Structures are given as structure tokens and as C-alpha cells.
Structure 1
Amino acid sequence: MWQDKLGVNMENLVYFTICSRNYMAYALTLGRSLVQANPKAKFVIGMADEWPSGQYVGDVEFEVIPASNIGLPTFDDMITRYSVMELNTAIKPRMIRYLMEDRGFERVVYLDPDIFVISPLIELSTRLDDGVECVLTPHALAPLDDGGDPNDVRLLRTGVYNLGFVAMRRSINVSNFLKWWETQLETKCVVDLENGLFVDQKFMDLAPCYIENTHILRHAGYNVAYWNLTHRHVKASNRSYEVNEQPLRFVHFSGVAPKDASVFSKHQNRFTPENIGDLKPIFDNYLKRLKDNGNEAWSAISYAFDQRDGITLDSPLRRVYAEQHPLPRRNTTLSGKELIRLANQPARLEGPAFPTRYVHALWKSREDLRKAFDVDTANGRTRLAEWVLSSGIREVGISDALLQPARDALQFANQLQPTAEAPGLKHRIARRLIMIASHLRFVAQRLPNGLTRPVKRWLRAAISTSPYASTISQKPKQKIRREDDGVAIYGNFGTESGVGEGARQAHTALQQAGYTAEAHSILALGGFANNVEYDNAQVAGASGKPVRLFHINADQTPHILDALAFDEHLAGSYKVAYWAWELSKFPAVWTPAAERLDEIWTPSEFTAKAIRDAVDCPVYVVPHPVQVTLDQSPDARSRMRDKLGFADDEFVVLVCFDFNSYLARKNPEAALSAFQKARRVNDKLRLVLKVHGNSPSPQQRRQFLQQAEAIEGVIIIDGVMSREEIDELQWASDTFMSLHRSEGFGLNILECMAKGKPVIATDYSGSMDFLDSRVGIPIPYTLIEVGKQDYPFPEGQVWADADVSAAAEALVTLSNDILFSERLGKAAQSLARTQYSPKIVGRIMIERLQAISQQT
């Protein structure tokens, strides 16, 4: 049998990997490293995807074998049932059997695409030549008991052997094992640790039992990875590398982040690139190879089997299909409409129409939803339907075709509510007057003494005879004593979101104004990171304060009120909710929550009008405060500009947004277009695009960032930053631009104004309260309809489409006329300092709270 000069037997030996097209750069890096180590090696790529026809991304010198060509009888079923990771692992046994039985290879070696070969696999070839039928490598050769992650228990749950590598020799035993393994993976290639399954790996624990001639390769140079690096010490030696005095054969770079060289593996917490010793040059070389092999282009290509007839095959929809088809279907494919019909059926045959199978699968998959919504009760199902139509759309990106059952459930629930006669003109006038009573004191003081009392009597009569009286005159059952003054604020104090920041700022403002305020922290229901440290907050619980301020959005208000039902003081307290909303019409499904409140606060006149038009309780404008620093920090500005690589003569434009807040509403594409137009006039313009958060559509997120990366002069910062880092970034910038379609307030805009930055922003919605031509550059707009997938409850809604040319002209003006820019910035800072500082906003809140405390 022929051997090459390195002593590796090459006859009838093939190496292969499996990947989807977005991972092709990894497969190419593996294949090229293998051939570099052993030029005679035969390497092929199994494609768990469709080949990207018409999308040229680079040369591929290796044979690519699509999974649809290897004779899988349940292939159509598997691409519906499995996610991209599950499919990649599920086809492995069939791919091995195809290479052996259809292509005639005697020995087949599988390597994960994120493996990097350093030297020829001589020991492996020797074992196969000696008649070994199966070769495996264990995850670890010694206990992992140092308190890090992963540990021994995690390895037991995921499998003794790492299936990033397996080698097999053709035999009857191996053929029988592969057929059994292939059958198991038709439906069981899932991550289900509770039932002892972790994709394909757990089945391989039985290989030494089912294949008698199985060899466990304990060579320290094979499959070096984050899970065994604790015991394997890589050392450079004479242009080669050793591991525990054995040659290094290949490294498994599982969990690397090609765009973040500071991450060694995102699946563990022991190692960084700075503490991996002599492995660091290999790691750096690997990242460079990925880049050189076109990872940026390949990773942008979406997974072909994630869509069917325009329907996204997300995890809950795949789970519904799998639950309804526990046995594999052969050579049949359900259309997108058939999948929707299947998913929209009631979860329980004898139960209510909602939740549907889809929503129930989503509910089961998330602990926060299970805790928040009891689907065995009518109220829990109604609240879950509300969540689906608001937060669910944002967090999950639920297809519109799956939303109608939730709409029907809410409509049915509203029909069960007691109906009341619509308020008459007299009642509506009285309600409006009461809402603005605090602003009418000047008028009241000038009314004749004999007229004041009859006006008050008329107002009381108008309210008391209204069918809505109970929702307008909700007052504490007990007199609020002045000695009890104080407020308990319930909010997402630990959440990285606008709602969380609003709660923190409100608490800070009251404290700085000298008012007693408790902070009760509530975890965000989902979609946002709960990673902000706020030392002043306690876990949400009972409070003796007479006023409760619920600094949460309308869709979450009923859940929090229900969760605090244990608090005996709640029924007698005065309940205020701080609601935000970004469109001109407030969703009708949220209005019942107002019936459980005494009044509502909201940050802007725009939002206040939307809520007032929808509810029958008083609505007050209480703006968000901003911390105002009077003097700009030159050190902070210089430090951040140096970090970003900006010269002193460059004009830096800052654009910030959270993908959770919807791309269409934030409209950053318009900002990019305006920047491109302006940069043709002034090439000293630079744009910093600060983003974080997820998106209902990962593909949309990826495509937008790729679009931004392709624009000259744009730098992207993707990730959560600390408050101090955000401040530095704002100081370092010369202007802030927000071509939003609608804002409930616009906190980023006001924060930059407080730092003396001239702001360019759409002249629409909440930001109009503080931004005009005296302190910034408002951009004209055209009203357009809100698209069906662009925001929750879009029916009948409009928002602004900013004039991109006007924004580009504003950028050119600010960058060319520094004196004008500085004048606007100083005016903006003065407005923020005199009207929106924590002490000023704190006084606004205290004035209202004191008015409440005087009520009986």
C-alpha cells in the first residue's frame, strides 16, 4: 500500500467536513491547512445548505457535495425539523456511509470546519492501518474541577467524545453502526439535555460498545480546544509546536469570534487570547486565514432552509412541526401555508383557541414567559396575547401570518368586558379640564369668588354622572398622610434599555431633589440584557410608600400589578404608571390597563396626546432628566478620538440606536445616505455608528451592518457600552444625528444637547418638545404609512420620513461653519441645563406627588 514521504497512508483515505454556506470560509481554512500539512490529502466538503448560485464569493478548489445528493430519504423532513446546527450534525453518519459505500473510500475522517491542522495526522493513519475500525478523542483526559466552565458535568451532558473529529474504517460493524446512528438522527438530533440528547454526540458514547475494534486516541496533540487546554500546554519548538511533549496535530477553535480578536471562545470562561501562551500565534494566524479566505463575504449569505414560501422557519415553528410529526416523513415537504395552518391550531385540542401550537412552543421554550403568563387562566392567556403582539414581534420577529390568533384572542377578551355608554360632551370637557387643572391655577385665581364654587360643582357633577366615573375618580381608600410622603418606583433598574434608563434617571432625579424614593428592581421580561449594576435598587417587593410609580410600559403594567398582589398596601396606594409609546395612536389592546391606575405619566406632549385620546384617566407630561455636565472634558474627548483613530480636523457624526427598538423606526439607513451625500462635499466627515441589541430578523441586522461597513468613513461599534463609555463617545463627537421616523422622547438627542452638541433630528414626535431651530437643526419630513412588519400595532398608523437631502445639507453646514455649530451647541446645553437637569425634572415630579398627597 502506497505511503507518502511523511509516512501517511493515502490510498482510499478521504477527509471531509460539513458546513452551511455561511461557514464556508471555515471549511476552506480547514481544507487548506490540511493540504498544507499533507499535500497528498484528499478533502471534500459536505454542504448542509444549497449552493449560493449567482453569488460569487471566491474560488473553492475542493469538491462540494450537497446534502440533497447523498441519498437521505428524509432530507425534506430534516430541513423542516432541524435548525442549521442540527442539520449539520444530523447528516454526518449518512455522509460517512455515502463516502464509503457510494464513493468507495476505505477510510473516512471527519473534521469540524472550525479545526485548524498543524501537522500530518500520522498516529491516526497508523491506527487505521492496524485494523482499527473507529477512532475517537475524548473531550478531556483529566478532571475539570477548578470551578470554571465547562466542567465534568457539562461534558457528561454533552457527550464523552468530541464529535468534531471521528475516523472510521469500512467494515460490516461500522456499516451497521452508521445505519443505526443515521436512523437515530432522523428525529433525535436535538439539544435536549433533560432527556440526555445533545445533537449527534451522545449516541457516539455507545460506539465503543457497538464497534468492538474502537480506539480511544489519547494523544495530547489531537483536538486541542478550550475544553482541554487546562491540561494541555502548547509550546513552540524549532518551527513546530508540541503539546505535553507530543507533536501538535490540530486545534479545534470552537467559539471564536472573527470580528473580535479578544475572544478565544465564547463557550467558556477560562481563557482569553492573552493567557493561552504559545497557542496565541496560532490563534492569530487562524483569524487571519479566516479573513483571507473570505469570511466576511461568506458569513453574509443566509441559510437557504430558514425560509419557505416567504415564511421564516424559526425554532418554535420547527418545534411545532417536530411535535406533530414525531416519525420522519419521507420525500415530502409541507408548504409555508401548510406549516402556518399547522402552527395556528390550538395547543390543546379540547382547550381554548389561544395559545396556538406556535405560541405555546415559544412559551415553553422561555422560562421568563412561563413565569409571567399562566396559560391555564383566561387572564394569563390574554396577557400572553398582548405580549405576542408587542414585545413578541420585537424579540422574536414572529411572522405576520402567525399573529392573527393573538388578535382574535384579544378581541374576544375585550368583548367579555362590561360595556359602557361612550362619554358625552359634558364629561369629555370635564375630564380635559381636570387633566390640566394644575395649569389653570392662574385663571382660577382671577375668577370672581362667586363663580369658582359653581364651576367646581359642575365639574364634580359631570364626572359623577359619567359611566366612566370609576376610572376617573379612583382615589386611595385611605387618606394619604403628609408624614407618609414618599414614592416606591418599580422599574427595570438593571436592564440595558430605554425603559431601564428612564427608571434610573427618575429615581436619581427625585433623590437629587431631596425626595424620598425607593427603587424596586424588576427583571425585563425578555429581549433586553439585565446586566446594569444599580446599587440603589432592591428586589421588587412590598412597600409602605403611599404612591407607587410603575416605570414600565403599558403592556407590562398588568403583569406587574398582578405580581405585586401580595402587597397588602397596594390596594390603598395611589398608582401611577410611566408609559412610553412612539406612534401617534395608542394601541387599544393596552387601554384596559389604565383602568387599574390613578394617573399616567409620559415623557412628551406627543406621547401624552396619543395616550389621552385612548384612556380615561389623567395623563401628565414628566420628561426624562439628563445629567448635565457644564464643562466638556478635553481628556475624554481626546482619548476617545484617539481610540477611534480620528484626527483633530475631522468632523465626527454620531448615530446611535438599539436594534430592539426596530430598524424601520430608528431609520439609520437615512442617516447613512445623508452622510454619504455630505461627504462628497466635505471628505473630513466621519460617522460613528453605535449599535447594540438584537433584531427580529438576524438577516436584516447583518445586511444593514454590511451596508454600513461598505461606506467609506464609517466606523461601527457593536455592543453594550458602560455609561462612562457612552459619555466619552458623546463628548468625542461633533454632532448627533437622528433621522428617526418617530420617537416617544429622544433621550440620546437630549443627552448630546446637554454636552453642547448641535443635533440634527427629524422635526417630528417626542423630540419636538426640546429641539427647534434655536438649539439644533430640525429636518423636514413627509408622513408615510407604517409598514405591517415595521412596528407593533401598525394598523392606521403614520410616521415621518425625513428629508435626506436636507439632513446632508445640515451636516455640510455644521462641518463647514464651526462658529455656527458652537453657537447651536451652547444654546442646546443651556436649554438642557435649565429645563431637563435631574433637579428640575425632580421638582416637576415632586410638585405632582405633593398634589397627590393632598388628595383624600
Structure 2
Amino acid sequence: MENTIVNYHATFSKTSGISEAARANFTALKSSRFTVNQINYIENKRQLIREHNNVLIDIDQKTINIYHININDIPSYILNNKIRTLPNTYNIAYWAWEFNKLPEEFVSLISLFDEIWVPSSFCQNIFTSYSFKPVVKIPHLIESIEIEESKPKIELQNKFVFLSIFDSLSTPERKNTDGLIQCFLDTFSTNPDVVLILKTVNLEKNKRLYKKLTEKANHHNSIILINENYTKKEIIQLIDSCHSYVSLHRSEGFGLTLAEAMLRNKIVIGTGYSGNLEFMNAQNSFLVPYQLITKDEDAGFIKKGYQYAEPDIDNSKKILKFVYANYNNLEDIKLNAKQSIENSFSKKAIGDLMNSRLAKISSFMKERSNVNLAKNSELITENIRLKHDIKKYEGNIIIKFKTILKSKTQKMVAYLFFIF
């Protein structure tokens, strides 16, 4: 057994794409020759707090920390936790990103870590452009799960089912839900035998999207909206119940559900851009042509200067129509898709990649002084805490001002009422 300890930090108990990816990759690492600890964090008022566990830090033990916490959540992580820069400690950030540029406030976070892991070549190119530190591609494990025969939560007898799964807090502009709905309705609005299932979570936390999607679902019987926290088994059952999985995304860091659908022997349609090209090609799926756009102004999460793909909706309609009309003749594509995932993203394949890299790190780790790294970490951490305190203070000032204004308004109304 290797004498290096590996601590895997993530929001393991959360319902999200990154948490699902962390759970899967931790599974691949559990069978390694290292001692591996799972360290879970829970979200409390937008802050990540370490769950109580019995994992102890031994400063004399060689330790590799893998922080599978996305870069935009690192500031909230730092408010309650430390990224330790002790001798004999090596810190890895496991990050995905969907655009060609990083926000300026995120760039400094790279210096907190010794190395970055990413799930795709697309992400690797992004982070390499910002850092001279190692940026290593470790894709996500796409695990084959056997589930017993049981009644699915939704029964769609004699319907042809297109499916799309997304988190309503994961930037609808990037997921391009509007484009998918319009594409589907333009193609099948007069066909009662075809339905589109939109499976999401956290919809109630996005009021604008909630209004839009519920209106669409209420006005079109062919659109089925599901906003529930499904178990992994229920997600797999839902994927198994569909004929085709569709994502007209503008950008993906990896595209976990696309890969899961391919493993479940489904016809997968997706924009031919970004992280999903790690596993999608013309032989195992349908890639939608696109036009590459550079944003000229901020629009929600997509900032000025970001590049993204605008999928060709007319071409998408043709693909959806073709898949529906020729579904029984697409067995070769389904087989190629399943084999692609089985060959390259299995527990053994991903586990071997992780173990190989960790073994190399362990071999070159020596007693080293982390004084400069520690000082840098303290400065960045202090800066994040300061920004948080300022934002909190400003928020309190605004609340106080609104309270005073409300009080004065009430007094004025009472005064006027008394006069008249």
C-alpha cells in the first residue's frame, strides 16, 4: 500500500452535475493503492462548510488533496475552510469551465493549487492559457449501473421521447433551453406521438425560468416538465425510457448526461462544440453544426469576450426529424456510442489514469518549503474574506436604508391621512 494519503474534497451529498461527477470519480479511486478519504462539504447560506468527520491531518504524512469543487465555488469554500500548504502536501483543483476566458477574479485562485485536473481537452486548453502549472486531463467516470426492472415514475406508452436533463441554476443561457424548446415545437407541434421531457432541479430558485418553462408546459401537451430531485436509479430509469437525448448547448465543460445516455444505448444529439467532443463523434452520435460567437456585452452569466457556440436550429430540426423517422435503422450508432463510453470512461480506465498521475506526484513529493505558497494563500484568502465582509456590510446598509425609508413613508402617509 502506497504511504501517501489522498483526501478527496467535494460536495458529495449535493444534487448537482459536479457532485455527481465527484461521486463517480471517487468510486474509481477507491480501489487504488493509496489510502483514500472522502471529505464532504454541505452548502449553508451559499457557504461550503466541512461536514464533521474523523479524517485527521498528519503534517508528517505525505498528503495529496483533490478539491473537486468548481472554481466559482472556491471563494465560498475559503470563507469556512483552509487550503493547507504544509510541507509534504500537494493540492489539486479539479475544475471544469465552459468558456474561452476566466473571470478576472478567478484567475488568482489558480495560484492556491499545485496542479489542476480537468475532464476534457476543451477545459485543458482554457486553463493552460492561464497557468504554467500542470493541467492534467482526467475525464469523468461513466459508470454502468444495473437496475432491476421496476415501474418508472412516468409512463409514456406509444410515445417517441426526446429527453434533456439540466440544472436550472446552471445558466439556462448556456444550456440553451429556449433553443431546444423552439426547435422541438417547430418540428413536432402537430405530431401527438412525440414528446419532449425537460428534467430539471432547482427550477423554483430561478423565477424567470420557472415562469417561462411552466407556461410552455401548460400550453403544449407535448412538453413534459419535471422539477424533482431524482435518485441516480430514477435518472437512469428516465434515460432508459427515452429514445433520444438532446442538448443544444452553447458550451459544456464535459457533458455528463450526454455520455450517460450514450452508455444506456440511446441516440444522442448535441452541439458539436466544447467538452462533449471528448466522447461524441460522427460515428456514435449526431453533432449539430454551430456558429462560434464572441459576446460583445455582458448577458447574465455569459460575459463580454466569452466565446460560445450558437447551434444551427434549422439543421437541428432536420436531425430530430431524421432520428424520429429512421430510429429503427440507427442500431450501429447506438452500438458505437455504448462501446465508446465503455472503452474509455469505465471505472478501470479512469481509475488507472488517476492512480498513475497520483503515483507520479507521490514519487516527486519531497520535504519542501511552502512558505511562499502559504503567504500567497493567506493573501488570497484574506482578500476573499474582505470582499465578503464588504458585500455583507453593503447589504446591511441597503436593508437599513430601506427600513428607514419604509418607516418614514409610513409616517408621511399617517400624517397626510391625519391632515385630510
Q: What is the TM-score with the length of structure 1 in the denominator?
A: 0.40
Please tell me the residue identity of whatever aligns with 1:635.
E
Equivalent runs, 1:84-483 vs 2, <5 Å: 483=2
Q: Does the aligned pair in 2 maintain the 1:668–1:739 contact within 8 Å? A: yes
What is the rounded CA distance, in whole Å, between the counterparts of 2:276 and 2:185 in structure 1?
25
Q: Residue 549 of structure 1 corresponds to which residue in structure 2?
A: 66
Deviation at 1:730, TM superposition (A): 0.7
Q: Does the aligned pair in 1 maintain the 2:294–2:306 contact within 8 Å? A: yes
Report the CA distance shift for 1:694/1:527 in structure 2 as closer, same or farther (over 3 A). Answer: farther
Summarize deviations over 1:122-181 as a string: whole Å, max 9, x none.
Answer: xxxxxxxxxxxxxxxxxxxxxxxxxxxxxxxxxxxxxxxxxxxxxxxxxxxxxxxxxxxx
Q: Does 1:645 align with 2:164?
A: no
Q: Residue 692 of structure 1 corresponds to which residue in structure 2?
A: 201
What is the rounded CA distance, in whole Å, between the counterparts of 1:507 and 1:666 in structure 2?
26
Match of 1:622 among 138, 162, 183: 138
Summarize deviations over 1:533-583 as a string: whole Å, max 9, x none.
Answer: x9xx9477636552111111224436646755496x844301111011111
What is the rounded CA distance, in whole Å, between the counterparts of 2:199 and 2:285 in structure 1?
21
Deviation at 1:593, TM superposition (A): 1.8
Q: Does the aligned pair in 2 maintain the 1:550–1:557 contact within 8 Å? A: no
Unaligned 5+ segments in structure 2 are: 367-420
What is the rounded CA distance, in whole Å, between the counterparts of 1:764 and 1:586 in structure 2?
18
Q: Residue 225 of structure 1 corresponds to which residue in structure 2?
A: none
Match of 2:149 among 628, 635, 656: 635
Please tell me the residue identity of whatever aligns with 2:354.
M
Match of 1:770 among 279, 282, 286: 279
Unaligned 5+ segments in structure 1 are: 1-481
Q: Does 1:602 align with 2:121?
A: no
Please tell me the residue identity of whatever aligns with 2:94.
Y
Summarize deviations over 1:405-452 as a string: whole Å, max 9, x none.
Answer: xxxxxxxxxxxxxxxxxxxxxxxxxxxxxxxxxxxxxxxxxxxxxxxx
Q: Does the aligned pair in 2 maintain the 1:737–1:760 contact within 8 Å? A: yes
Report the CA distance shift for 1:790/1:556 in structure 2 as closer, same or farther (over 3 A). Answer: closer
Summarize deviations over 1:500-542 as a string: whole Å, max 9, x none.
Answer: 1122112101114565321001123656999xxx9xx947763
Match of 2:8 among 473, 483, 489: 489
Deviation at 1:627, TM superposition (A): 0.9
What is the rounded CA distance, in whole Å, between the counterparts of 1:738 and 1:614 in structure 2?
29
What is the rounded CA distance, in whole Å, between the counterparts of 1:571 and 1:628 in structure 2?
39
Q: Residue 791 of structure 1 corresponds to which residue in structure 2?
A: 301
Q: Which protein shows a greater Rg?
A: 1
What is the rounded CA distance, in whole Å, between the counterparts of 1:685 and 1:570 in structure 2?
58
What is the rounded CA distance, in whole Å, between the counterparts of 1:587 and 1:672 in structure 2?
30
Partner SS state of residue 338, structure 2: helix
Structural RMSD (CA): 2.8
Please tell me the residue identity of whatever aligns with 2:247.
S
Q: Does the aligned pair in 1 maintain the 2:194–2:222 contact within 8 Å? A: yes
Q: Does the aligned pair in 1 maintain the 2:94–2:118 contact within 8 Å? A: yes
Report the CA distance shift for 1:497/1:711 in structure 2 as closer, same or farther (over 3 A). Answer: same
Deviation at 1:703, TM superposition (A): 2.1
Summarize deviations over 1:562-621 as a string: whole Å, max 9, x none.
Answer: 755496x84430111101111111223212222221110011111111111112211011
Match of 1:746 among 226, 231, 255: 255
Deviation at 1:798, TM superposition (A): 1.9
Q: Does 1:578 align with 2:94?
A: yes
Deviation at 1:622, TM superposition (A): 0.7
Match of 2:219 among 710, 714, 717: 710
What is the rounded CA distance, in whole Å, between the counterparts of 2:273 and 2:55 in structure 1?
36
Partner SS state of residue 42, structure 2: coil
Report the CA distance shift for 1:529/1:578 in structure 2 as closer, same or farther (over 3 A). Answer: closer
Higher relative contact order (CA 8 A, sep 6+): 2
What is the rounded CA distance, in whole Å, between the counterparts of 1:845 and 1:809 in structure 2?
41
Q: Percent identity?
A: 27
Q: Residue 228 of structure 2 corresponds to which residue in structure 1?
A: 719
What number of residue pairs does the alignment pair up? 361
More strand as a share of residues? 2
Q: Does the aligned pair in 2 maintain the 1:692–1:719 contact within 8 Å? A: yes
Summarize deviations over 1:241-294 as a string: whole Å, max 9, x none.
Answer: xxxxxxxxxxxxxxxxxxxxxxxxxxxxxxxxxxxxxxxxxxxxxxxxxxxxxx
Partner SS state of residue 661, structure 1: coil
Q: Residue 69 of structure 1 corresponds to which residue in structure 2?
A: none
Q: Does 1:656 align with 2:158?
A: no
What is the rounded CA distance, in whole Å, between the counterparts of 1:723 and 1:528 in structure 2?
25
Report the CA distance shift for 1:756/1:624 in structure 2 as closer, same or farther (over 3 A). Answer: same
Q: Residue 508 of structure 1 corresponds to which residue in structure 2?
A: 27
Q: Does 1:498 align with 2:17?
A: yes
Please tell me the residue identity of whatever aligns with 1:722.
T
